[in-house]
């Protein structure tokens, strides 16, 4: 599965991605790698650009239909990102995790494909469990 492969690749690398790494503390040449930044922020920017592209296209055009199909890839990336965040200390950052789960909700809301609706039920159950876990902390 794509998401599990992505997470295992990230966990196998000696890679630390955090916002609180000073700019002069970044290590990009040799491991262990330290990169300053936030993966969720990068994903949010990607998502904004994706939506801008869709808004600029005619909704009846062939190109629009092709671009809408790319949303599946966006959702797969988001799922991979959430799995990665859940496997790091970032899982304790409620604000960050809520932003990630909110993005997921935005992408599964108003989907009428039966397969997506089935996935939505599973995802919502998973989200409820995650929010209940935050309440227990």
Give me the pLDDT at residue 24, please: 81
Mean of the per-residue pLDDT values of the chain? 78
* Chain segment 93-114, per-residue pLDDT in tens: 898 999 999 999 888 865 555 5
Q: Is residue 92's pLDDT more than 90?
A: no
How many CB atoms neighbour CB 67 within 10 A?
Answer: 15
| Secondary structure of residue 137 in the 3-state scheme | coil
Q: Please, which pLDDT band fits residue 2 given cuts at 50, 70 and 90?
A: very low
Average pLDDT over residues 27-42: 82
The arithmetic mean of pLDDT across residues 77-90, rounded, is: 88
Compute the distance between CA of residue 26 and CA of residue 136 in angstroms, rounded to an integer: 35
Computed on alpha carbons and rounded to an integer, the radius of gyration of the chain in Å comes to 17
Asked whether residue 115 carries a pLDDT value surpassing 70, the answer given is no
**What pLDDT, on a 0 to 100 scale, did the predictor assign at position 3?**
46
Q: What is the pTM of this model?
A: 0.66
Helices (H), 30-113: 39-56, 62-69, 71-86, 94-108
Q: Provide the token pair at 99.
A: 């932003």
Q: Is the pLDDT of residue 70 over 50?
A: yes
Structure-derived torsion over alpha carbons of residues 77, 78, 82, 83, reported in degrees to the nearest 10: -30
- List the structure tokens of 36: 């300053």
pLDDT of residue 31: 75
For residue 76, the Cα-to-chain-centroid distance in whole angstroms is: 8
């Amino acid at each position: 599965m794509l998401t599990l492969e992505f997470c295992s690749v990230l966990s196998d690398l000696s890679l630390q991605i955090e916002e609180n790494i000073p700019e002069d503390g970044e290590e990009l040449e040799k491991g262990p790698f330290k990169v300053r930044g936030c993966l969720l922020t990068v994903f949010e920017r990607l998502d904004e650009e994706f939506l801008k592209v869709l808004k600029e296209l005619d909704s009846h055009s062939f190109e629009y239909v092709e671009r809408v199909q790319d949303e599946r890839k966006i959702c797969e990336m988001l799922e991979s990102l959430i799995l990665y965040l859940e496997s790091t200390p970032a899982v304790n950052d409620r604000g960050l995790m809520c932003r990630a789960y909110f993005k997921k909700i935005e992408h599964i809301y108003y989907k009428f494909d039966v397969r997506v609706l089935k996935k939505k039920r599973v995802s919502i159950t998973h989200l409820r469990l995650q929010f209940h876990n935050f309440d227990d902390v």
